[in-house]
Amino acid sequence: MSAVDSPIFLIGTGRCGSSLLYRLLSYHPDVAWISHYTSYLPGGGAWAALARVHDLPGMADWLPKAEGTRRIPQPTENYRLLNAATDGLFTAPRELTADDMTDTARARLRALVASHATAQGKSRFAMKHTGFPRVDYLRAAFPDAKFVHMRRDGRAVAASLCRVDWWSGEGQWGWGAVSPEDLAIYRESGSHELVLAAIYWKVLMRQYDAVQAPADRLLELRYDAMVADPIGTMRALADFVDLPWGPVFERRLVATPMTSDDRKWRRGLTPEEVGLLERVLHDDLVEQGFTP
């Protein structure tokens, strides 16, 4: 099995838990990944090889497992690389289809995967991105790719989005059409950013539900289930993407601190804001299997 022919793509809305999932998957001894260092040298090369520090004897068990350790190579989204490979198309404010894939972009994307796998000495490659699914587009370059979609309660996603400085407001909206009903609620709320964040989750989740991919190519996971049972969740993922399970991988997973904010999403919200979330998301939460 080739890393280029069978990459693993982790996908989901922003603040869905995909970063944690990516970090957990990066602990697997066979998996190459994109680090924040790689952005300094688009294409991979020597910067991608820095991730090998995790493979030094005993190093992976010693290195911090919590987020925010910027000095040590850590897995991250890297849209600079993806835009360089696709002439800026990857972050276009719309969903991409197989028809959008060009021969040039296909060759560059496959070279990106190959360069990281080679530099890190791995047999498989994993990458994550959030926002639009991009499944059809990426399958046009990687027919044997496996996709793992992380789902999270829309109320937790919306509350979390409003706590990060990169969340864009109405003036930066680029996630698709908003229904008249949702637009009315947003206007009635005084253009509240929490309502816009909830609409973002709703719009994107409907796009994810519309993805057409064979069952053996797309795995659905839930953030709350992963936090409650990380070993069980990662075993399911490893089995789905054909990665061997071993004691080193499990030991690294067990050593990773993990807490869930899904039961605390009301923290910092007023009763009125909670009501707005419930009004916007009720039907979609039920459909997605989340208790309103």
**Domain housing 101:** 8-288
Q: Is residue 242 part of a domain?
A: yes
Task: Give yes or no for a contact between 135 and 11, defined as CB atoms under 8 angstroms apart.
Answer: yes
Any idea which of 153-162, 251-260, 265-274, 275-284 has the lowest mean pLDDT? 251-260
Confidence (pLDDT) at 36: 81
**Chain Cα centroid distance, residue 234:** 15
- Does 125 fall in a domain? yes
Which CATH number belongs to the domain containing residue 276 in this structure? 3.40.50.300
Asked if residue 203 belongs to a domain, the reply is: yes
Residue 68 in this model has a pLDDT that exceeds 80: no
Query: Is 86 contained in some domain?
Result: yes
| Residue 200 forms part of a structural domain | yes
What is the C-alpha separation between 289 and 184, in angstroms, rounded?
Answer: 25
- Check residue 19 and give its pLDDT: 94
pLDDT confidence of residue 249: 93
Tell me how far apart the terminal alpha carbons of the chain are, to the nearest angstrom: 43
User: Is 223 within a domain?
Assistant: yes
What average pLDDT score do residues 226-253 get?
96
3-state SS string over 171-227?
HHCCCCCCCHHHHHHHHHCCCCHHHHHHHHHHHHHHHHHCCCCCCCCEEEEEHHHHH
Q: Is residue 1 part of a domain?
A: no
d(CA 198, CA 123): 39
Which of 144-153, 200-209, 249-258 shows the lowest per-residue confidence on average (mean pLDDT)?
249-258
What's the whole-model pTM score?
Answer: 0.94
Task: Read off the pLDDT of residues 110-138 as tens digits, 9 standing for 90 and up.
Answer: 999 999 999 999 999 999 999 999 999 99
Report the number of distinct structural domains present in the chain: 1
User: What mean pLDDT, rounded, does the chain reach?
Assistant: 90
Range with the lowest mean pLDDT among 94-98, 129-133, 267-271?
A: 267-271
Write the CA distances from 150 to 122, 131, 271, integer angstroms.
24, 12, 28
What integer pLDDT is reported at residue 255 of this predicted model? 87
Amino acid present at 77: E
Query: How many CB atoms sit inside 10 A of residue 22's CB?
Result: 24
Residue 57 has pLDDT above 90, yes or no: no
Question: Is residue 52 pLDDT above 60, yes or no?
Answer: yes
Looking at the domain assignment, is residue 158 inside a domain? yes
Confidence at residue 158, expressed as pLDDT on a 0 to 100 scale: 96
